[in-house]
Amino acid sequence: MDRKPARAGFVLVGGASSRMGRDKASLPFQGKTLVEHVASAVAEAAGSVTLVGAPERYQGLHFPRLADGHAGCGPLGGIHTALSAPGAAPWNLIVACDMPGVDADFLRSLLAAAEGSEADCLIPVGPSGWLEPLCAAYRGTCLHTIGAALDRGVRKVTGGLAGLRVATWSVAESHWLSNVNTPEEWIAQTHG
């Protein structure tokens, strides 16, 4: 009898990248694309990775792809799609594709902290004090609460977590959680 893995990993690739002016996931980074960098780190930390977004955009990549079941609903829809996936696990690492600072060691530490908590989801908080729900660990049990929020028209990720036990995880250095939305941020992150 096959046992379901305790962890699964997902990378959200569904954004429009409008402020960047081109697909952020396809930006060149350390000899590969940004999404390949993030997906490889997620896979190493969680034991698997699935890209959640428009599958046709990433056919050339050798990662499983899953269409976002809530296209147009923002990242909260992508999180719900990940938690609905056949490969979802008791703990699910969900990371946006535009975070060049993440690596497998950081993500493993995040998952270990989540697994040691009583929370429904564990969200990092950097020095700025901002929650980073697009680099977080979610229990599979979050599925129904997030789905109900989407049904009510909630689109903000933190709004979709209302009613869940949300724990924060302090991160001392902001580079782990930095994302890139504009060409200027990309240059600062990769050449700074």
CATH of residue 183: 3.90.550.10
Number of domains in the chain: 1
155 CB burial (10 A radius; 0-12, 13-18, 19+): middle
What gap in Å lies between CA 3 and CA 15, rounded to an integer?
33
When the pLDDT of each residue in the chain is averaged and rounded to a whole number, the result is 89
Residue 1 lies in a domain: no
Instruction: Report the amino acid identity of residue 75.
Output: P
Range of weakest confidence among 9-23, 70-84, 102-116, 120-134: 9-23
Of 80, 71, 52, 54, nearest to 157 by C-alpha is 80
Q: Does residue 2 lie in a domain region?
A: no
- Residue 103, domain extent: 7-191
Is the pTM here over 0.75, yes or no? Answer: yes
Residue 168 in any domain: the answer is yes
Judged against a pLDDT cut of 60, whether residue 28 lies above it is answered with yes
pLDDT in tens, 53-96: 988 888 888 899 999 999 889 999 999 999 999 999 999 999 99
The 10s digit of each residue's pLDDT in 164-180 is 999 999 999 887 888 77
User: Can you tell me which residue has the tokens 């396809």?
Assistant: 26
Asked, for residue 114, whether it belongs to a domain, the answer is: yes
Q: Within a domain: residue 153?
A: yes
Report yes or no on 14 lying in a domain.
Answer: yes
